[in-house]
Amino acid sequence: MKVRKNLEAVFLAASVMVTFAAYATADVPVRANAAPASASAVADSNMTVVVVSAKRLSAAEKVAQQ
């Protein structure tokens, strides 16, 4: 009789336990190590860099644009 009253709590407890068990037993994929950051920076030394700069609008200019 008490199990029927607390069926929601039993379900939640069981789902939490199953979730943690799934994470605990999951295989971790093997990933290749990335090249060091300094080596990749040297390899990309001819990469194009775009710098965007502009003056900030005043409050009156912002209102005028809308």
pLDDT of residue 49: 80
Residue at 4 is within a domain: yes
In order of 2, 11, 22, 41, the CA distances from 14 in angstroms are 16, 5, 12, 50
Instruction: Kindly report, residue by residue over 2-53, the tens digit of the pLDDT.
Output: 778 889 888 999 999 999 888 888 777 767 666 555 555 555 667 788 888 8
Residue at 3 is within a domain: yes
Residue at 58 is within a domain: no
Residue at 5 is within a domain: yes
Could you tell me the residue range of the domain that residue 22 belongs to? 1-27
Residue at 23 is within a domain: yes
Higher-pLDDT residue of 35 and 60 is 60
pLDDT of residue 36: 58
Could you give the dihedral angle defined by the CA atoms of residues 9, 10, 12 and 14, in that order, rounded to the nearest 10 degrees? 160
Residue at 61 is within a domain: no
Residue at 18 is within a domain: yes
Residue at 21 is within a domain: yes
